[in-house]
Amino acid sequence: MKTYFFLLLAFCIMAVSFKTGSHIVTGKVTSAADGSPLPGVNVTVKGQPSIGTVTNQEGTYRLSLPDGNQTLVFSFIGFVAQEIKTGSRTVINVALAPAEQSLAEIVRTEHDQSVQGNRSRQAFTQSIAPALPYAPEAPIQYNTEEYEAIHENIFLEATKNALSTFSIDVDAASYSNIRRFINQGQMPPKDAVRIEELVNYFHYDYPQPQEEVPFSMHTELSSCPWNTDHQLLKIGLKGKEIPTADLPPSNLVFLIDVSGSMQDPNKLPLLKSSFRLLTNQLRAEDRVAMVVYAGASGEVLPSTPGSEKEKIMQALDQLEAGGSTAGGEGIALAYQIARQNFQEGGNNRVILATDGDFNVGPSSNAAMERLIEEKREHGIFLTVLGFGTGNYKDSKMELLADKGNGNYAYIDNIEEAKKVIVQEFGGTLFTIAKDVKIQVEFNPAKVKAYRLVGYENRALKNEDFHNDRKDAGELGSGHTVTALYEIIPAGKDSPEDPLHPVDELKYQQQEINPQAYQSQELMTLKLRYKQPDSNTSQLITQAVLDQAIALAQASDDFRFAAAVAGFGMLLRDSEFKGDLTYDDVVAMAKAARGEDEEGYRLEFIRMVESCNLMASK
């Protein structure tokens, strides 16, 4: 009997010792060129995209890994990626080589391999031709990504177009989406580049709002970096920051696409990891329901308190991809469940996660627009999280968020999910002002012409500013919004001015008020907004003086925002970019990097450098 007991005990000890667990790996990533630390390096487990981290400001990282011989992938734009097997090591330091020399070698190697591969295929086909009725070909991989066409804003004369009106845009999906292209060694499609979303990816140091107004306004005027004869005006809004503990309770519905197109690792697996992060942020007073859709839709989790995180996680873990995509049906069901659990005075929101490739039921952009406009009338907001590549429907995702009183983010890796869902939790999920519109009236005695940089898809008619039924953008807790105007000052008469002539009017005259010449005002800035539970807008008006400062004395935020806008103009090959180059953008961004605690600005600089390499091939 004793012998049997000791044998059983030994077996249990062996079983425990062989049980799969986890261990911690730490290390530091540096540049092989000069030994400097590299913050913002992606550290992931090969084949398991949900496990990963990024290096901090000192270039160090800490990662919890499943036991076993894993392969870590270290990748950073502008550097050659490395793959390292962990074995039993707990400390792994890495030196990444700059990509410039390797890029040329890669291009040459791929060309050589392509030529050799063509020769090999020709020889193989010729050798088997007598035995086959035709030569086999590899299946073609189609790219069906869709982007809304962007027609760049032009210069407008202030005497004939004194008013400029647009909806705010806090979305930043365009930035992470073009980062995905650049990290894959490709230049992004021009219409994927929405300049205002690039600029608004970054936070700027605007003052906190005072009293009862939900946001503050800030302006700054200086020289335009890409045309020194012009001026650049920066308008900044800052949403009131509300501590998480003081936020109203949430009634959330996770609406998750589990169709067959979501099988890739950067789709449903990354989506599930992202929603786990979100689940960990929930409080006991928050509630979550879960709806999925493929060929049909269904509720897989009834409204559940945020304290029951394990139950929510289990529902996520059981999701698998397969079938067609009845997105419209899923949206209708999600809004229905949100209404059933509606919380008065709370945050009622549907969170849609998909690649946007709807193919069953209502699926056209027009049909989806009508569906969402109907649903938003019930006080339910919408957050859209985009995933995936190849069949990604950016145009549909942007439309849904725009028409659904919501916001839109593209999740290309787990760190972006952390930024959107954890670090910007309040801004992403809690609206403090809705239907926020900006209208600027320029003083023609000071401004000859102006151009709004970006916001093409957010333009409004001047009459829309006073129309409370006209939808506009939403502002979340702690969010910042930045807009830039390029201005041709009055008196700057040059044949090179990029102005399109407009005929003089036959039946009326356009005259400048004589008092405008005596005024020091450059423009008047007007904003309209509604409280989240109101249908009546409130007006804020502020005069902006003509007080330009030298570009060298402008704030870091001003110069960095200008660098990001300039980068967007280069990616779009804008007719207004002047002589601006990628090197100019890099120099400007480096000089204006500021504190950059999270390393996002440094990542931007590396991304521009990578584009410079690709553009110079």
Residues 97, 85: Cα–Cα separation, whole Å: 18
Do the Cβ atoms of 295 and 303 come closer than 8 Å?
A: no
In this structure, the strands spanning 250-257 and 163-167 are unpaired
Do the Cβ atoms of 259 and 356 come closer than 8 Å?
A: no
Q: Enter the tokens of residue 217.
A: 């306004």
Q: Nearest-CA neighbor of 94 among 145, 32, 167, 45?
A: 32
Beta bridge partners of 288: 252, 304
Q: Which amino acid is at 101?
A: Q
SS3 580: coil
Q: Which CATH number fits domain 156-170+182-240+433-490+517-576: 2.60.40.1230, 3.30.420.130, 1.10.150.120, 3.40.50.2300?
A: 2.60.40.1230
User: What's the pLDDT score for residue 21?
Assistant: 62
Q: Nearest-CA neighbor of 99 among 129, 116, 77, 119?
A: 77
In this structure, the strands spanning 521-530 and 431-442 are antiparallel
Q: Enter the tokens of residue 201.
A: 């990816």
Beta bridge partners of 436: 473
Q: Which helix (H) or strand (E) holds 27?
A: strand 22-31
Looking up tokens 């011989």 gives 69
Residues 232, 450: Cα–Cα separation, whole Å: 9
Q: Enter the tokens of residue 407.
A: 């916001």
Sheet containing strand 82-85, edge to edge, reads 48-54, 42-45, 71-75, 82-85
Do the Cβ atoms of 369 and 375 come closer than 8 Å?
A: no
User: What's the pLDDT score for residue 526?
Assistant: 97
Residue ranges in the chain modelled with pLDDT below 70: 1-21, 40, 49-50, 57, 77-78, 99-142, 359-364, 494-495, 617
DSSP conformation letters of 301-365? EEEEETT-HHHHHHHHHT----S---HHHHHHHHHHHHHHT--TTSEEEEEEEE-----SSS-SH
According to CATH, what is the number of the domain 13-98?
2.60.40.1120
Do the Cβ atoms of 176 and 411 come closer than 8 Å?
A: yes
Angle at 123 between CA 121 and CA 125, to 5 degrees: 65
Is there a common fold for 156-170+182-240+433-490+517-576 and 244-427? no
Residues 442, 427: Cα–Cα separation, whole Å: 31
> In whole angstroms, how large is the CA radius of gyration of the chain?
27
According to CATH, what is the number of the domain 244-427?
3.40.50.410
Q: Enter the tokens of residue 215.
A: 């946001």
> How far is CA 442 from its chain centroid?
31
Q: List CB contacts of 341: < 8 A, sequence separation 6 or more.
A: 251, 287, 289, 303
CA distances from 444 to 162, 342, 348, 488 (A): 7, 50, 45, 11
User: What's the pLDDT score for residue 360?
Assistant: 53
SS3 114: helix
Residues 486, 451: Cα–Cα separation, whole Å: 5
* Cβ neighbours around 451 below 10 Å, total: 18
Q: Spell out a b/e string for 125-148, using b for 16 or more CB atoms within 10 Å of the CB, else e.
A: eeeeeeeeeeeeeeeeeeeebbbe
Taking only the tens place, the pLDDT of each residue in 144-175 is 889 999 999 999 999 999 999 999 988 999 99
In this structure, the strands spanning 250-257 and 94-96 are unpaired
**Domain ranges (residues) in the chain:** 13-98, 156-170+182-240+433-490+517-576, 244-427
User: What's the pLDDT score for residue 249?
Assistant: 94
